[in-house]
């Protein structure tokens, strides 16, 4: 059951409330990100940042989806190049907040992470997944490309060639394959999933005060997790694909398959 229109909730747990957990819980939309969800995720990140936890966890409700991508029912209203640029910038900047969050961020992949869901996962520092989930940057199946900074982050995490292959083919990887690629850090049996991510979060939260923030700062200095200088070009290219006939033809074909 969701607690808000966008399905986002923020909770604090662990030693001295040192673990902040953001859950995206929209079972009716497989935890897809729509306009209200984006607004609530943005607000939750700001609130979590103000609380100065030792670690942040982002996960999804249920076991079917971590985040299934953008909510196509809502995003269908985005029709012009300018609207597509604004939408992409909006969510990209939210995920940039995830990437530069002052302490380590764990993406706990409780379910499939597809399209924008994979972009959400790659914005985190650490990815832990149940062994039955799948992950893929499959936006190409709709004639588009990652719009939320995921392409750049993916290249940094798994390398240029693998990133281009993953995005251009839209391959959907099972968890063990994703781990071999370096896309997922830890894969555990479903029965051990929640215990595993909570144990890691608790271990980080038990470190000396400000230790996790210092560790994150040093690593981020060596491997920056955002490229704001690339935003304008990336969202413009995405927007051009979004408004093209090929994209809307692919959306119509997908909807026809679902109805069939």
Arithmetic mean of pLDDT, 66-85: 96
Q: Which helix (H) or strand (E) holds 202?
A: helix 193-205
End-to-end CA distance of the chain: give it in Å, rounded. Answer: 29
Encode pLDDT of 92-118 as tens digits.
999 999 999 999 999 999 999 999 999
Residue 260: its pLDDT value, please?
72
Neighbours of 27 (CB within 10 A): 14
Arithmetic mean of pLDDT, 73-80: 94
Encode pLDDT of 5-44 as tens digits.
999 999 998 778 899 999 999 999 999 999 999 999 999 9
The pTM of the full predicted model, rounded to 2 decimals, is 0.96
Encode pLDDT of 52-70 as tens digits.
999 999 999 999 999 999 9
Q: Can you tell me whether residue 87 is helix, strand or coil?
A: helix
Position 1 pLDDT exceeds 60: no
Residues 6+ apart with CB under 8 A from 52: 102
Residue 54: its pLDDT value, please?
96
Strand order in the sheet with 126-130: 8-13, 19-24, 55-60, 105-109, 126-130, 186-188
The domains located in the chain, with CATH, are: 8-205 (3.90.226.10)
Q: What is the distance between the alpha carbons of residues 212 and 226, in angstroms, rounded to a whole number?
A: 19
Residue 17: its pLDDT value, please?
86
256 pLDDT band, cuts 50/70/90, is confident
Residue 16: its pLDDT value, please?
82
Question: Do residues 93 and 44 lie in contact, with contact meaning Cβ atoms separated by under 8 Å?
Answer: no
Which residues, listed in sequence order, are joined to residue 13 by a DSSP beta bridge?
Answer: 19
Q: 95-114: b or e for each residue (b if 16 or more CB lie within 10 Å)?
A: bbbbbbbbbbbbbbbbbbbb
Q: Can you tell me whether residue 253 is helix, strand or coil?
A: helix
Residue with tokens 């990652």: 146
Encode pLDDT of 161-203 as tens digits.
999 999 999 999 999 999 999 999 999 999 999 999 999 999 9
Pairing of strands 19-24, 8-13: antiparallel
The overall average pLDDT reported for the chain is: 96
């Amino acid at each position: 059951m969701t607690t808000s229109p966008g399905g986002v909730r923020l909770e604090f747990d662990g030693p001295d409330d040192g673990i902040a957990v953001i859950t995206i819980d929209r079972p009716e939309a497989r935890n897809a990100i729509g306009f209200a969800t984006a607004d609530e995720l943005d607000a939750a990140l700001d609130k979590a940042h103000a609380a100065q936890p030792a670690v942040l966890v982002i996960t999804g409700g249920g076991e079917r989806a971590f985040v299934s991508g953008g909510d196509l029912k809502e995003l269908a209203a985005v029709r012009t190049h300018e609207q597509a640029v604004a939408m992409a910038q909006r969510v990209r900047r939210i995920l940039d907040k995830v990437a530069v969050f002052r302490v380590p961020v764990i993406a706990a992949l409780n379910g499939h992470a597809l399209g924008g869901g994979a972009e959400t996962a790659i914005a985190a520092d650490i990815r832990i997944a149940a062994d039955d989930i799948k992950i893929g940057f499959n936006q190409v199946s709709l004639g588009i490309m990652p719009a939320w900074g995921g392409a750049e982050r993916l290249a940094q995490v798994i390398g240029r060639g693998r990133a281009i292959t993953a995005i251009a083919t839209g391959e959907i990887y099972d968890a063990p394959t994703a781990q071999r690629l370096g896309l997922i850090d830890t894969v555990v049996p479903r029965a051990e999933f929640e215990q595993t991510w909570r144990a890691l979060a608790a271990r980080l939260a038990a470190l000396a005060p400000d230790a996790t923030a210092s560790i994150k700062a040093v690593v981020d200095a060596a491997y920056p997790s955002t490229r704001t200088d690339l935003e304008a070009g990336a969202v413009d290219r995405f927007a051009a694909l979004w408004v093209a006939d090929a994209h809307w033809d692919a959306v119509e074909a997908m909807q026809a398959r679902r109805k069939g």
